[in-house]
Homo-oligomer: A and B are copies of this chain.
Amino acid sequence: MARKQKFKITPIGGLGEIGKNMTLFEYNGDGFLIDCGIMFPANDMHGVDYIIPDFRWLVERDDIKLHGVCFTHGHEDHIGATPHLIKAFPGLPLFATPLTAGLLQVKLKSARLLKNAALNTFDAGDTIQVGPFKLESFHVCHSIPDCVGYGINTPFGIVLHTGDYKFDNTPVHGRKTDYARLAGFAQRGVALLLADSTNSDKAGWTQSEAVIAPALDRVFRQAKGRIMVATFASLMSRVQQVVNAARAHKRKVCITGYTMSEYAKIARKLGYLDVGDDMLVTVAQAKQLPPHKIVFMVTGSQGEPSAVLGKLAAGRHRQLDVRRDDTIIFSSHPIPGNEEMVYRTINRLIERGADVIYDAIESVHVSGHACQEEMRLMLNLTQPKRLIPVHGEVRHLHLHAKLAVDNGMPPDKVTIIENGTTIELDGRGVRVGERQPGGYVFVDGSSVGDIGRAVIRDREILAQDGFVLVSVNVDRRSGKLLEQPRIVSRGFVYLKDAEDFLDNIRDKVTRVVNSNQRMNGNRQNLVEDSLSKLIYNETKRRPMIFSIVNEV
């Protein structure tokens, strides 16, 4: 590589938010991506299924040749948007460790895109060549096996991307975060570190996954009836721990739900999930077993009404129900914004007679992200010249920056940027460059990106106060009303109890139309304005108001 150009880094997602992680690296007309994830919508993003990074500008840019996507691990917020990317860049090479590649395969297959994907597998620790770029992968611990970070060789030194990580000294699958490699990078000189900020407001050191085993053991020991364990479909380390507990307590395991079953199948095939055929049963088989002989793995730990646990809580699951003496374990922590739905699900399951164990009661979940002491360790191990905090809300990025400065890094070497901001690295240092769009692309139903802020805002208004529509037929010549106005309204008041008020509306509209017979063009506005006023005065609400004036 020649040194005339700058090495550019553009986070497309994952800054100032938890989710939809994706970063572009480019040099001299060549580029590659790290990760391509989705994000779950906030409570006020009505009707949105999920959000993908806004890479539309990248599709337009014919001055970059994209050589591939390198994945850090197999969670949805890092791989989930890959089908959308592959549609835009058919045949784009994908680079991943075996488990991550397996999960990508499941995802691409169900999107019918497997034939368009060039999937390349490597082992954590391998060096991979992506077009002209040399990336040295290194193993990190998280809450799924086979996670990596990348040391990217640039003419200006090593750029280090941690991915999601923690320093678990007793991880479920035995392999530790690669201290030696990280220290090795430091010896060669780390020009810039991009590091996970998710837990930067948490002091100390994240607990090891190892604390979960004894907690599960305590719960399994006391459970009289069936056990159900809820977690994310992709949290394969957790599935392994539940399998281990089941084995110790002589229970069979039933993995429910399509995604979790598919992921478990791949993980078993690749050797990341150690469970014999004799231990696994179908739902039908599970129902034949005595209650104390079975553990169900279920989805829905975030309170999603359409997941297995959500259906069980509502009594709407086709094959299973919740009974007295069932023990239900939430092996998860609510993602911010999901607390209400999670606790509602817990309350309903308790009402149905279950004993529900969540992390306030037992240590049945630990975070997969580094806390403050681990962040300090990362800085001290890798000794970067500069830091860009990534992966986290604005507050996390700022606290990570503060931590780095308190740890001795000069304040001008820490740069907080937003999605879409390009960072330019050269021999002299780092410069904040151009700004690309870094916003949200909403996926709703089968469509991508056709609902934007305006549609969401309309949904918000409809959600607040509903709408009222009045249709009137007016005589073309006299301008007089021909028949009673018709009213269509939803979400405003309970219409059956509001006949008087609807009469008021009809009277008002009749008066407005009949007393303004000459003002043809303005009739619609006149009707809507007078209706707005009437409704606000009577109810102090502001539903959306429409009128249709038919001149007949």
Contact A548 B350 (CB under 8 A): no
Would you give the shortest CB distance from A459 to chain B, in whole angstroms?
4
Question: A541 contacts which chain B residues (CB < 8 A)?
Answer: 47, 444-445, 447
Q: Given A466-B462, A491-B455, A491-B458, does the pair A471, B550 have CB atoms closer than 8 Å?
A: yes
A258 at the interface (CB under 8 A from B): no
Interface residues as binary, A339-355 with B (CB distance below 8 Å gives 1, 0 otherwise): 11001101110110000
| B-facing residues in A439-476 (Cβ within 8 Å) | 444-447, 450-452, 454-455, 458-467, 469, 471, 473
Would you give the shortest CB distance from A466 to chain B, in whole angstroms?
6
Would you give the shortest CB distance from A429 to chain B, in whole angstroms?
24
| B-facing residues in A373-415 (Cβ within 8 Å) | 393-395, 398-399
| B-facing residues in A529-552 (Cβ within 8 Å) | 538-541, 544, 546, 548, 550, 552
A46 at the interface (CB under 8 A from B): yes
Contact B445 A488 (CB under 8 A): no
Q: Contact check: which of B351, B458, B463, B488 meets A46 at CB < 8 Å?
A: B463
Q: Contact check: which of B344, B393, B473, B497 meets A552 at CB < 8 Å?
A: B473
A16 at the interface (CB under 8 A from B): yes
Closest partner residue, chain B, to A541 (CB atom): B445
Q: Contact check: which of B467, B539, B548, B550 meets A490 at CB < 8 Å?
A: B467
Question: A346 contacts which chain B residues (CB < 8 A)?
Answer: 394-395
A156 at the interface (CB under 8 A from B): no
Docked Cα-Cα span, A374 to B450, in Å, equals 54
Would you give the shortest CB distance from A313 to chain B, in whole angstroms?
11
A526 at the interface (CB under 8 A from B): no
Question: A178 contacts which chain B residues (CB < 8 A)?
Answer: none
Docked Cα-Cα span, A548 to B549, in Å, equals 12
Would you give the shortest CB distance from A398 to chain B, in whole angstroms?
5
Interface centre among A47, A446, A455, A460 (most CB of B within 10 A): A47
Q: Contact check: which of B360, B459, B494, B548 meets A463 at CB < 8 Å?
A: B459
| B-facing residues in A291-338 (Cβ within 8 Å) | 336-337
Q: Given A393-B347, A488-B546, does the pair A460, B463 have CB atoms closer than 8 Å?
A: yes
A3 at the interface (CB under 8 A from B): no
Docked Cα-Cα span, A446 to B541, in Å, equals 8
Question: A459 contacts which chain B residues (CB < 8 A)?
Answer: 462-464, 466, 490-491
Docked Cα-Cα span, A458 to B103, in Å, equals 38
A518 at the interface (CB under 8 A from B): no
Closest partner residue, chain B, to A336 (CB atom): B339
A43 at the interface (CB under 8 A from B): yes
Docked Cα-Cα span, A546 to B469, in Å, equals 11
A113 at the interface (CB under 8 A from B): no
Would you give the shortest CB distance from A352 to chain B, in whole angstroms?
10
A175 at the interface (CB under 8 A from B): no
Contact A490 B471 (CB under 8 A): no
Would you give the shortest CB distance from A393 to chain B, in whole angstroms?
5
Q: Contact check: which of B394, B490, B492 meets A351 at CB < 8 Å?
A: B394
Closest partner residue, chain B, to A42 (CB atom): B340
Interface centre among A460, A462, A466, A539 (most CB of B within 10 A): A462
Closest partner residue, chain B, to A398 (CB atom): B350
Contact B347 A394 (CB under 8 A): yes
Closest partner residue, chain B, to A486 (CB atom): B548
Question: A347 contacts which chain B residues (CB < 8 A)?
Answer: 16, 393-395
A493 at the interface (CB under 8 A from B): yes
Q: Given A16-B347, A340-B42, A458-B466, does the pair A201, B360 have CB atoms closer than 8 Å?
A: yes
| B-facing residues in A481-531 (Cβ within 8 Å) | 486, 488, 490-494, 497-498
Docked Cα-Cα span, A46 to B491, in Å, equals 9
| B-facing residues in A202-219 (Cβ within 8 Å) | 202
A106 at the interface (CB under 8 A from B): no
Docked Cα-Cα span, A497 to B491, in Å, equals 27
**Pairs across A and B, CB under 8 Å, 27 listed:** A16-B347, A43-B43, A47-B491, A201-B358, A202-B360, A336-B339, A336-B340, A336-B343, A339-B339, A346-B394, A347-B393, A348-B394, A361-B399, A445-B539, A446-B539, A447-B539, A447-B541, A450-B493, A450-B494, A450-B497, A450-B498, A451-B494, A455-B491, A455-B493, A462-B462, A463-B463, A473-B550
**With contacts A43-B43, A356-B395 known, what are 7 further pairs, Cβ within 8 A?**
A336-B339, A350-B398, A361-B399, A455-B491, A455-B493, A455-B494, A458-B490
The 3 A-B pairs at the shortest CB distance, nearest first, are namely A445-B540, A463-B463, A337-B340
